[in-house]
Amino acid sequence: MKRDYVNYEVEGRLAVVTVDNPPMNPLSRRVMQELGEIFDEIESRTDIGVAIIAGGGTKAFVAGADIKGFKDFIGSREAAFASSRGMQAVFAKIENSRVVVIAAINGLALGGGCELAAACDIRIGGDNIVIGVPEVKLGLIPGAGGTQRLARLIGKGRAKMMVLTGAFFNAGDAVRMGLLDKVVPAEDVLSEAKQIAAAILANAPLAVEAAKKAINQGIELGLEDGMLLEAALESDLFVTEDLQEGVGAFIEKRTPSFRRK
């Protein structure tokens, strides 16, 4: 189904999701609605194992929220709360998705764009990026999960430096902070994301899904409870056909053919 601002193309088991709301791809209400719809579709398609999120054009990944739309919420705590919770819900779909989600970041990734990137599993940035959460400069805070995910992703101190100063950071700063996992030339961002996707897709799908769940859920638990979660997920994999295939292929020195079973 063709949408106005967010669409995706499937290449084998990879979905490439593009936010195309020119010129800066802001997260309007319609963009958020379409992004949520697309991840509902992707989640239901077991033929898809990895999704890449990219921004249309060359100026921005996502330059932030639709500030012009703030007029609908100023003066109404209830409307602002509902808007924040709605954005959080969409980003939670991405973070908790069965598929691995890679952010392919070019140009600006500000405010909601940085929060969207933080909800992804892996972040690849071009050497031209500018990233940050400047909401305090408007009299706000990151409200789509940014204060929580950034603290978990890069630590409380660095998260406070980002959020409280509202500063912008370049690619070198971002990778040193742990906000980006890899920096490549701007023109190579999507191809690099696809190479990483291919490496993930070569592995056993159920194992990849279990590994993502173990990390995402385990980080919120105490160490011993996290260990129990890991053991439970590991033991579930021992009764899969894919494990039998993987072990057989290893012994027989051939490429495994996994079926997500």
Active site residue: 34, 135, 209, 230, which one? 135
Known catalytic membership, residue 78 = no
CATH of 6-201, one of 3.30.390.50, 3.40.50.2300, 3.10.150.10, 3.90.226.10: 3.90.226.10
Two structure tokens written together for 8: 């995706």
Mean pLDDT score of the chain: 94
Using pLDDT thresholds of 50, 70 and 90, give the confidence band for residue 69: confident
How far apart CA 85 and CA 143 sit, in angstroms, is 8
Catalytic residue among 115, 192, 209, 230: 115
Q: Is 188 exposed, middle or buried (0-12, 13-18, 19+ CB in 10 A)?
A: middle
Q: Is the peptide bond before 256 cis (omega within 30 degrees of 0)?
A: no
Whether the per-residue pLDDT at 74 is higher than 90: the answer is no
CATH code, residues 205-252: 1.10.12.10
Main-chain dihedrals φ then ψ at residue 17, nearest 5 degrees: -100, 125
For this structure, is 252 an active site residue?
no
Domain with CATH 1.10.12.10 in the chain: 205-252
pLDDT of the residue at 255: 93
CA–CA gap between residue 187 and residue 17 (Å, rounded): 18
pLDDT by residue (tens digit) across 7-50?
Answer: 999 999 999 999 999 999 999 999 999 999 999 999 999 999 99
